[in-house]
């Protein structure tokens, strides 16, 4: 499976930048979710990789093939990129059976393929299976109904699954009626003779492909009925729909239809599988079930999956890497737990996690021992201890240098003739501070910020109610679900959300001595919104 590389990929419509200078490497075999709010550019990114949308500029490479390069004028069409798609509206053909729905695309394939001696190949396979009749008999005996008669359809499916056969070979195998204890040594000899004769008249490799001069002979041809059947059976086995082959889509549940759509996408063995919110039409329970199926599918097929979703839970649970985008700009590209525990900035911290993270504004400076002295809420003192060495002054210097470099690069770009000013400006993310009395955040006037202005990010699970603490809150609201309770705790005029595990009861208005524990409490720079460090927090009495 190939690696996918995006270099400086931009897509704009007029002055609107749907994707802005995106650099991304999608590694072999990974499951990457493109995540972000509605309209952030996820689908556009996916469509550009797939060849359904032409980037304005940049370069895209799949494996060792450059499929798009704006400067070199390369643009490989979608049908030559060997990618599979699964969209939200996966529309199965209602007048075709499940089998035909999956096989349909395969019957149109016409490409350079090896020339195979199918007759010899099938004869060899049959001879091999017949030589060990015990296993076949066992399968057939398992298919007897209450009256002792063998259920033929069931038998075919079981034989297909057990021996990776096409329906045609399965029918032949069944036709020997091994369950009746017949002696098939004559048949085996005749099949072997057929194979020997084929091998004498031509050179065949172990896959029964015809060889000439040490090379496999190829021809531009369609897939044979047998090959199509094998492909349909292979994917049906993966998504467990073997029993529904003769049904029409209307006779299937939503989840089963979805599995057919997945099978249809997998059948031509795409090197990369693109999925755009494929589960969004399903109900919550089915969605969850299908998530497991997709996870398994990823492992079983060994393909690279690129998956668009705006559901952060889906992105977190499925992905090996999350690519989080906002306003066309990449915010973070990391493993899900890194995104969760060490978000790059306030936007990322806010976007992932349910219930949402608590933001607490703080003012502070670093002490010589590395800890940061903070004033939070209405004048409470706290100490933030970074997990790793932190030189806060140096951090601010680096931040300023980065910003200056970015501004210089932007200036240089803006001086170019082809430059188009971005109309959808990148604005600083406005984080939300939960308070008992809330005002519209957009009316909040931006104060003049200094390097002392910081923001703490506290995940709800870091909050706990303890017997005694110098940080006293009050229960403002509680939502018990049995396994856990989501609570809102009031401290001064601020509200913090917490998740408390276990089935405790909370009384609204009751005093709540609080602990804020954990080593992944985040410290953000308020000016840039970037994460400075993660660490622990301690309140002073
Ligand atoms: N053909 C087009 N012409 C102009 N603007 C477009 C066009 N297609 C998409 N856009 C805009 O580009 C932006 C990115 O669209 P895209 O479909 O990639 O978003 P998305 O992140 O997939 O959103 P959603 O989660 O809502 O599907 C949107 O603001 C959209 O309005």
Residue 212's φ and ψ, nearest 5 degrees, are -145, 125
Determine the straight-line distance between the first and last CA of the chain, rounded to whole angstroms: 58
Tell the residue nearest (CA) to atom 8 of ligand 1: 44
Report the run of H or E that residue 497 belongs to, with start and end: strand 494-501
Q: Would you state the structure tokens that stand for residue 31, as one six-digit string?
A: 């499951």
Check residue 265 and give its pLDDT.
Answer: 87
Check residue 443 and give its pLDDT.
Answer: 67
Residues forming beta bridges with residue 33, ordered by sequence position: 307, 322
Is the model more confident about 48 or about 296? 48
Per-residue confidence at 442, pLDDT binned at 50, 70, 90?
low
Distance between Cα 43 and ligand 1 center (Å) = 7
Say if CB 236 and CB 102 are below 8 A apart: yes
Q: Would you state the structure tokens that stand for residue 163, as one six-digit string?
A: 């021996």
Check residue 490 and give its pLDDT.
Answer: 94
Tell the residue nearest (CA) to atom 30 of ligand 1: 39
Q: Which residue of 11, 18, 311 sits with most ligand 1 atoms within 8 Å of its CB, as the best mutation to test the pocket?
A: 18
Q: Would you state the structure tokens that stand for residue 118, as one six-digit string?
A: 């199918």
Q: Which residue of 10, 16, 20, 39 sits with most ligand 1 atoms within 8 Å of its CB, as the best mutation to test the pocket?
A: 39
What ipTM was assigned to the predicted interfaces of this complex?
0.97
SS3 33: strand
Residue found under tokens 């049908």: 79
Cis peptide before 355 (omega within 30 of 0): yes
Whole-angstrom distance, CA of residue 154 vs CA of residue 162: 12
Q: Which of 15-29, 36-50, 81-95, 248-262 comes out lowest in average pLDDT?
A: 81-95
Tell the residue nearest (CA) to atom 14 of ligand 1: 41
pLDDT at 283 over 80: no
Say if CB 313 and CB 356 are below 8 A apart: no
For the segment 240-251, what is each residue's pLDDT rounded down to a tens digit?
888 899 999 999
Q: Would you state the structure tokens that stand for residue 15, as one six-digit string?
A: 């002055």
Distance between Cα 40 and ligand 1 center (Å) = 7
Distance between Cα 17 and ligand 1 center (Å) = 10
Residue 123 Cα to chain centre, angstroms: 42
pLDDT at 89 over 80: no
Residue found under tokens 């399965």: 170
Check residue 538 and give its pLDDT.
Answer: 92
Percent of the chain exceeding pLDDT 90 equals 62
| Residues 422-432, mean pLDDT to the nearest whole number | 85
Q: Would you state the structure tokens that stand for residue 430, as one six-digit string?
A: 């406005």
Q: Which residue of 13, 35, 327 sits with most ligand 1 atoms within 8 Å of its CB, as the best mutation to test the pocket?
A: 13
Q: Which residue of 40, 279, 325 sits with most ligand 1 atoms within 8 Å of its CB, as the best mutation to test the pocket?
A: 40
**Residue 441: Cβ within 10 Å count:** 10
pLDDT at 271 over 90: no
What is the average pLDDT value for the chain, to the nearest integer? 90
pLDDT at 1 over 60: no
Cβ neighbours of residue 305 closer than 8 Å, sequence gap 6 or more: 30, 31, 32, 272, 273, 275, 294, 298
- CA angle centred on 251, ends 250 and 254, rounded to 5°: 70
Tell the residue nearest (CA) to atom 23 of ligand 1: 39
- CA angle centred on 180, ends 177 and 184, rounded to 5°: 60
Tell the residue nearest (CA) to atom 28 of ligand 1: 39
Q: Would you state the structure tokens that stand for residue 404, as one six-digit string?
A: 């200056």
Check residue 243 and give its pLDDT.
Answer: 86
Distance between Cα 45 and ligand 1 center (Å) = 10
Whole-angstrom distance, CA of residue 84 vs CA of residue 51: 11
Residues in contact with ligand 1 by the CB-under-6-Å rule are 13, 16, 18, 36, 38-44, 310
| Residues 398-411, mean pLDDT to the nearest whole number | 94
Return the half-sphere exposure (C-beta side, CA atoms, 13 A cut-off) of residue 280. Answer: 16
Tell the residue nearest (CA) to atom 19 of ligand 1: 39
Is the model more confident about 473 or about 266? 473
- The pTM (predicted TM-score) of the whole model is 0.81
The winner for highest mean pLDDT among 76-90, 379-393, 436-450 is: 379-393
| Distances, alpha carbon 272 to alpha carbons 16, 184, 324, in Å | 29, 45, 20
Could you identify the atom of ligand 1 that is nearest to the CA of residue 16?
A: 5
């Amino acid at each position: 499976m190939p690696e996918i590389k995006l270099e400086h990929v931009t897509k704009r419509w007029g002055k609107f930048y749907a994707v802005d200078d995106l650099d991304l490497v999608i590694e072999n075999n990974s499951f990457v979710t493109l995540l972000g709010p509605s309209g952030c550019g996820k689908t556009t990114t996916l469509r550009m990789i797939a060849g359904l949308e032409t980037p304005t500029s940049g370069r895209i490479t799949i494996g060792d093939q450059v499929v798009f390069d704006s400067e070199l004028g390369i643009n490989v069409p979608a049908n030559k990129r060997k990618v599979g798609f699964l969209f939200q509206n996966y529309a199965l053909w209602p007048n075709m059976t499940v089998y035909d729905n999956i096989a349909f695309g395969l019957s149109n394939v016409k490409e350079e393929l090896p020339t195979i001696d199918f007759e010899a190949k099938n004869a060899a396979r049959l001879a091999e299976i017949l030589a060990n009749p015990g296993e076949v008999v066992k399968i057939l005996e398992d298919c007897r109904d209450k009256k002792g008669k063998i259920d033929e359809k069931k038998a075919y499916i079981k034989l297909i699954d057990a021996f990776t056969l096409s329906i045609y070979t399965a029918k032949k195998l069944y036709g020997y009626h091994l369950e009746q204890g017949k002696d098939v040594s004559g048949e085996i000899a005749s099949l072997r003779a057929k194979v020997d004769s084929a091998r004498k008249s031509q050179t065949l490799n172990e896959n029964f492909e015809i060889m000439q001069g040490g090379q496999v002979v190829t021809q531009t041809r369609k897939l044979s009925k047998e090959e199509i059947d094998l492909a349909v059976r292979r994917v049906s086995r993966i998504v467990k729909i073997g029993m529904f082959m003769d049904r029409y889509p209307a006779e299937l549940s939503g989840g089963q239809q979805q599995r057919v759509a997945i099978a249809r996408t997998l059948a031509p063995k795409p090197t990369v599988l693109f999925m755009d919110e494929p589960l969004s039409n399903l109900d919550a329970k089915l969605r969850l079930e299908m998530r497991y199926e997709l996870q398994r599918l990823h492992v079983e097929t060994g393909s690279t999956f690129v998956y668009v979703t705006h559901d952060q839970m889906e992105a977190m649970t499925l992905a090996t890497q999350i690519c989080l985008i906002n306003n066309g700009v990449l915010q973070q590209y990391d493993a899900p737990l890194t995104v969760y525990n060490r978000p790059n900035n306030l936007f990322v911290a806010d976007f992932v996690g349910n219930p949402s993270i608590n933001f607490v504004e703080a003012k502070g400076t670093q002490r010589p021992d590395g800890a940061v002295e903070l004033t939070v809420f209405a004048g409470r003192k706290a100490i933030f201890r970074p997990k790793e060495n932190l030189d806060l002054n140096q951090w601010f210097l680096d931040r300023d240098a980065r910003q200056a470099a970015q501004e210089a690069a932007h200036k240089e770009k803006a001086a170019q003739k082809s430059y188009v000013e971005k109309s959808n400006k990148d604005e600083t993310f406005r984080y939300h501070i939960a308070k008992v009395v809330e005002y519209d955040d957009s009316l909040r006037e931006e104060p003049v910020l200094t390097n002392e202005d910081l923001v703490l990010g506290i995940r709800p699970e870091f909050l706990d109610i303890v017997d005694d603490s110098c940080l006293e809150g009050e229960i403002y609201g509680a939502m018990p679900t049995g396994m856990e309770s989501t609570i809102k705790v009031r401290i001064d005029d601020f509200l913090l959300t917490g998740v408390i595990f276990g089935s405790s009861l909370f009384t609204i208005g009751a005093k709540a001595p609080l602990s804020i524990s954990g080593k992944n409490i985040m410290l953000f720079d308020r000016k840039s919104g970037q994460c400075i460090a993660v660490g622990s927090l301690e309140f002073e009495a």
